[in-house]
Amino acid sequence: MPRSSRAQAETHRREVLDAASALVRRDGVDGVTVPEVMAAAGLTHGGFYRHFRSKEDLVAQACSAACAEKERERADLLEAGPDERAARRAFLERYLSTAHRDTPAQGCGIAALAGDVARTDPDSPLRAAYLEGMRQMIDDLGRLNPTASEDNRDTLVEIAVMAGAVMLARAAAGDDLSEQILTAARDFLVTD
């Protein structure tokens, strides 16, 4: 059987990363196995080590991919909106929605992976990828809020409220409290 071309290999790698990114956000790091990721990507388990050194390597890259996906979405909102204020409002309303709460596999990696990252070693690749994603989110949200403080305090509070609200709303899903959490966070952050 002929070996796949470089283009095919890169396509397969991207498919594995996309699958891992969604599964890790949905099920957490410990809830995902390499065979599950490969099956979700439509590939056999045997090809995994052609693309990644280990599950830890895959998870770190999946975290980076999840954060990059959301970075592109924030950039698209900024380009589409009439100004930063409108883009910020659209972002916050989307982030603090029941749709985001109910689709963790397509949601924010910062909210989805916080617990997993908190339990990793300080020098783990996952933590490094997560922190890079968080720093990018801080920069992006700072650009969306022209009145934010230079020391990022306002932006850090926004991220803490946003991610915390999504995490708590997911934990309370199925109870009225879940929607109340999202509404309270939107009301707190979305000001005209």
Containing 94, the helix (H) or strand (E) segment is helix 84-95
For the entire predicted model, the pTM comes to: 0.89
CA distance 57 to 96: 30
Q: What is the pLDDT along the chain (192 residues), one digit of tens a residue?
A: 455 688 888 888 899 999 999 999 999 999 999 999 999 998 887 778 788 999 999 999 999 999 999 999 888 888 887 788 888 888 999 999 999 999 999 999 999 999 999 999 999 999 999 999 999 999 988 888 877 888 889 999 999 999 999 999 999 999 999 999 999 999 999 976
Check residue 3 and give its pLDDT: 58
CA distance 56 to 54: 5
DSSP state of 41: T
The closest of 25, 46, 26, 45 to 36, measured between CA atoms, is: 45
CA distance 150 to 51: 40
Check residue 1 and give its pLDDT: 44
Check residue 143 and give its pLDDT: 84
DSSP state of 53: S
Check residue 192 and give its pLDDT: 65
The closest of 168, 189, 190 to 179, measured between CA atoms, is: 168
